[in-house]
Amino acid sequence: MALHLGRLSSGPWCLAARVGCGELRAWCGRRAAGRSCRPPGTAGTEHCRGLGYGPAARGGARLGTGLAAALAGLAGLAVAAFGHVQRAEMVPRSSAARSPSAAQEEEEDELGRRCSCFMAPPVTDLRELRRRPGDIKTKMELLILETQAQVCQALAQVDGGASFSVDRWERKEGGGGISCVLQDGRVFEKAGVSISVVHGNLSEEAAKQMRSRGKVLKTKDGKLPFSAMGVSSVIHPKNPHAPTIHFNYRYFEIEEADGNKQWWFGGGCDLTPTYLNQEDAVHFHRTLKEACDQHGPDLYPKFKKWCDDYFFITHRGERRGIGGIFFDDLDSPSKEEVFSFVQSCAQAVVPSYIPLVKKHCEDSFTPQEKLWQQLRRGRYVEFNLLYDRGTKFGLFTPGSRIESILMSLPLTARWEYMHSPSENSKEAEILEVLRHPRDWVH
């Protein structure tokens, strides 16, 4: 690939990523989905009950009507974004029966090769991951690590200048994370892709925030054990004609006083352009819609509206950007089916965004356009610090890593007193869209 991984780290972990990744992508699709996928173009579809979210999901209306069988097709889109990755070839397996020990050794070898493509070793000890290969927490940790590696590799390939710093950190209360940050590059002013895998006891402030969303949480002696993991990223290009993107996919699990476990997934992906480019907006939304449609035709419109509502800067009366998808508290019909949906969404990040950066990173721009970018970044900061759930949860969680939480903020931003764009200007055009969201796919 154009990116030399040796720049990311001098250790053998990243150097090992030079080989075997193409083979692993095929394995990832088969293993993480928890079922075999039919080749594209063949008949047959696996159906599910649809995805549900929130306290009413278990007994109320379901979202969506079906799971598409060819999940591997979307995985191919993400793989295609990396010029260095070779498509895996199908290798016939021996028909001879294998002993359980041989099968276990092969499984462990596959896991080791998969992990070798990550930016750093998993947060959870590899022996623990091998002990519970089918557990949803194992699958989610591997997914967020893989997503981090895919996005970082694609960004570094586009930038061609600066390299990612890989910062592995631990949380004394339990768990840790890996923060990858590129700053002052040729194309990107700041690009951060962070994963965290943490556990411990939920703080009262964090529990209060969850209860405000309708969660009924039973504590024991004031304690509420939790496990959480996710990948989060914000990417700020230098060129005002190249949009900013944010994505986050996460899994949360809480054990109540009576031993009952509550679990849910959340996440989303949204675009924040400085100037409106309708072709870019359509590409971004259509790519996300294709990912959602594999799991039900109702998901994209529901989560698109949720995104428009969530990223609303109340005191400004406008959205942070042109939206995308957003969902939270997704807890039905099953962990496996919701995980499969989240996996599809995560795999759509690279194909939805990288083409837009490549298209605009060399565009010429004026000082006025750069000024407008700085003012819009000010709005980005306002939303993240005042309204964003993830930021607030992180700040309220003991032992959180503040540098990673605030990684989303741009290097530079600007506030001007009573600034107002000229009527019928390009600046006024994007403001109109931010105040009145559009349907980009119909």
Write out the catalytic residue numbers. 246
Lookup: tokens for 176: 């840790």
Between CA 345 and CA 18, with CA 136 as vertex, the angle to 5 degrees is 65
Q: Which residues contact 354 (CB under 8 A, 6 or more apart)?
A: 81, 154, 155, 158
Contact assessment for residue 382 and residue 316, using Cβ atoms and an 8 Å cutoff: yes
DSSP state of 12: H
The secondary structure element, H or E, covering residue 300 is helix 299-310
313/32 Cα distance (integer angstroms): 37
CA geometry: angle 437, 314, 190, nearest 5 deg: 75
Please state, in angstroms and rounded to a whole number, the distance separating the CA atoms of residues 308 and 327: 11
Rg of the chain over Cα atoms, rounded to whole angstroms, equals: 22
Query: What percentage of the chain's residues is helix, strand, coil (to nearest 5)?
Result: 40, 20, 40
Looking up tokens 């294998």 gives: 98
The amino acid at residue 160 is: G
- Could you tell me the two tokens for 125? 């000890």
- Close Cβ partners of 431 (under 8 Å, ≥ 6 residues apart): 318, 421
